[in-house]
């Protein structure tokens, strides 16, 4: 039935897709917390003006990707396309603006009306981290270290690309320079493309279009427009990364697609995702909080594409611990008793109490195919003797254990 279709680019997620996404989410959560970042939850719906004033009127996101709608009160709202603007809005709304350094993280769905393809959806999930209130390169390094730690815990091979965009003055001079430079190519471009490039010439620098790449080949890059203190700041970041033995590529074309960036910008890219190879993007946004009406506080952060990463991680480890089957219906209560004893004694243990009617051989088959590490089958004999044959489903070995030994074994 046509009406019951999912929306393009917004797939239902189940089975292995959800498992992969949870693995990425859990590693993000664990790593954010280990760096002492605190969770922040903002609404999925915000006023569209928030993103016009932050992500930028001329950005692709505002030009063509926002899911917007008018509510019953005539307000123009939208589904959030990213998390930084909402978090900054929330800091201002809630008066969280003192001088203390603040470290927040968030996880959740974002929405962009882009052409769906591998690694790109219209509803996708991001995990983001924002470090507010520290201007020095120490915070650049802390944020990059956090991002890199997540990828390493996920066993993902990455490349870190890094660049430095100037503050407002330098960016404005660079923009004016590029607008003038582009005038030389006016005749070669259609009116539409020319006016798009004129509107946001910096963004066009990392265009995937080979004609546009050719045009920008001879243009100066942003580093020629940076002030002395900006160059020094970037050099300090580079030195710290080298001291910490963090490998990176300097990428002069890395300009990012959102307008709020000032200073250091970076992306982590991976193989195996085709054109959508950026799994993490971020940078410094020292003017955004002030521009949105808050205090003049510096900040840096990143967001990680959870679904994108979920597509490429290797899921080989068995996550489910023990399958408890039973010989017949009369043994199920005892199996449930044992299952709960194990759950009570071993934090986080994943225990399946099988409730169906399959025979023992089929139960063991199910345990295997569902990815359990161990299985026991409970019957009258196990109830009488309180001892169990623990089958290791990975190597086929067996161990006979009593209830206490079973807990100890699975706890080890």
Instruction: List the interface residues with ligand HAM, window 337-356 (CB under 6 A).
Output: none
246 exposure class (CB count in 10 Å sphere: 0-12, 13-18, 19+)? middle
CA distance 123 to 109: 6
Q: Which of 52, 54, 84, 200 binds ligand HAM (CB under 6 A)?
A: 84
Is 154 an interacting residue with respect to ligand HAM (CB under 6 A)? no
Q: Which of 127, 222, 279, 312 binds ligand HAM (CB under 6 A)?
A: 279
State the binding string over 40-79 for ligand HAM (x if CB under 6 A, else -).
----------------------------------------
Buried b or exposed e, range 15-24, using 16+ CB within 10 angstroms: eeeeebbebb
Total residues in contact with ligand HAM, by rule CB under 6 A: 26
Instruction: List the interface residues with ligand HAM, window 255-274 (CB under 6 A).
Output: 257-258
CB nearer to ligand HAM: pick between 83 and 325: 83
Minimal CB distance residue for ligand HAM: 305
Instruction: Report the residue count for the chain.
Output: 412
Q: Which of 86, 305, 325, 339 binds ligand HAM (CB under 6 A)?
A: 305
Q: What number of other Cβ atoms are within 10 A of residue 193's Cβ?
A: 15
Is 150 an interacting residue with respect to ligand HAM (CB under 6 A)? no
State the binding string over 130-149 for ligand HAM (x if CB under 6 A, else -).
x-------------------
Which residues, 6 or more positions from 4, have their beta carbon under 8 angstroms from its beta carbon?
none
User: Minimum distance from CB of 126 to ligand HAM (Å)?
Assistant: 5
Q: Hey, which residues does 120 pair with through a beta bridge? A: 117
CB 97 within 8 A of CB 295: yes
CA distance 284 to 265: 6
Termini Cα distance of the chain? 52
Is 200 an interacting residue with respect to ligand HAM (CB under 6 A)? no
CB 202 within 8 A of CB 163: no
Is 25 an interacting residue with respect to ligand HAM (CB under 6 A)? no
User: Minimum distance from CB of 299 to ligand HAM (Å)?
Assistant: 8
Would you tell me which residues interact with ligand HAM (CB under 6 A)?
A: 82-84, 112, 114, 120-121, 124, 126, 128, 130, 257-258, 278-283, 285, 301-303, 305, 307-308
């Amino acid at each position: 039935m046509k009406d019951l279709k999912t929306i393009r680019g917004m797939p239902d997620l189940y089975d292995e897709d959800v498992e992969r996404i949870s693995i990425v989410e859990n590693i993000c959560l664990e790593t954010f917390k280990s760096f002492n970042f605190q969770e922040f939850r903002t609404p999925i719906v915000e006023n569209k003006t928030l993103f016009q004033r932050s992500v930028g009127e001329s950005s692709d996101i505002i030009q063509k990707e926002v899911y917007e709608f008018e509510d019953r009160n005539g307000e123009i709202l939208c589904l959030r396309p990213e998390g930084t603007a909402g978090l900054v809005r929330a800091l201002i709304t809630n008066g969280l603006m003192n001088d203390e350094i603040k470290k927040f993280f968030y996880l959740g769905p974002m929405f962009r009306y882009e052409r769906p393809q591998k690694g790109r959806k219209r509803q996708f999930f991001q995990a983001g981290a924002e470090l507010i209130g520290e201007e020095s390169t120490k915070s650049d390094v802390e944020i990059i270290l956090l991002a890199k730690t997540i990828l390493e815990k996920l066993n993902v091979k990455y490349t870190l690309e890094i660049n430095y965009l100037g503050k407002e003055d330098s960016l404005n001079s660079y923009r004016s320079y590029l607008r003038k430079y582009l005038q030389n190519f006016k005749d070669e471009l259609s009116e539409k493309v020319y006016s798009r490039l004129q509107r946001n010439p910096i963004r066009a620098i990392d265009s995937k279009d080979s004609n546009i790449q050719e045009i920008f080949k001879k243009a100066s890059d942003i580093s020629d427009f940076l002030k002395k203190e900006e160059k020094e700041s970037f050099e300090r970041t580079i030195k710290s990364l080298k001291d910490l033995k963090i490998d990176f590529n300097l990428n002069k074309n890395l300009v990012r697609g959102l307008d709020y960036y000032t200073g250091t910008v970076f992306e982590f890219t991976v193989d195996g995702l085709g054109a959508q190879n950026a799994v993490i993007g971020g940078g410094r946004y020292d003017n955004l909080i002030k521009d949105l009406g808050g205090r003049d506080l510096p900040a840096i952060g990143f967001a990680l594409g959870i679904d994108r990463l979920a597509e490429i991680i290797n899921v080989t480890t068995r996550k489910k611990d023990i399958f408890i089957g039973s010989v017949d219906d009369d043994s199920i209560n005892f199996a449930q008793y044992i299952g709960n004893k194990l759950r009570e004694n071993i934090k986080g243990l994943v225990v399946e109490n099988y409730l169906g009617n399959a025979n023992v051989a089929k139960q063991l088959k199910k345990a295997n195919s569902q990815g359990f590490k161990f299985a026991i089958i409970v019957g009258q004999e196990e109830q009488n003797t309180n001892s169990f044959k623990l089958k290791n489903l990975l190597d086929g070995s067996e161990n006979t254990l009593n209830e206490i030994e079973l807990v100890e074994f699975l706890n080890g």
